[in-house]
Amino acid sequence: MVDKQARYRYVINNLIVCDSTTHKIKKMPHIIVKMYAGRSNEQKTRLAEEITRAVMKVTGNQEQSVLVSIEDVQPSDWTEKVYKTDILNNWDKLYKKPGYNPLV
């Protein structure tokens, strides 16, 4: 017999955690890292682990609620695909601004 008062969590579509007792749905932090292509899978894994630890420490989230994706970008595509679209178009949302400007 299942204890109806037992607290447990489950994952829905890898994006939402729902507490079975309160039925509150919590959205997870999803961090997207865009960087030059060429890093090894080991480097990407280590980076994702470090980012996850930092997010957990600062936000108090559990490990299972943190998602990290890494998108490789060719250096020749960086200005058009990342700098102009993600950085310049979202300047007011950047908490860490770049110390470079490829447009100069």
Catalytically active residues, by annotation: 29
Whether 19 contacts 28, CB under 8 Å: no
Q: What residues contact 20, with CB distance under 8 A and at least 6 apart?
A: 6, 7, 8, 9, 10
Whether 7 contacts 21, CB under 8 Å: yes
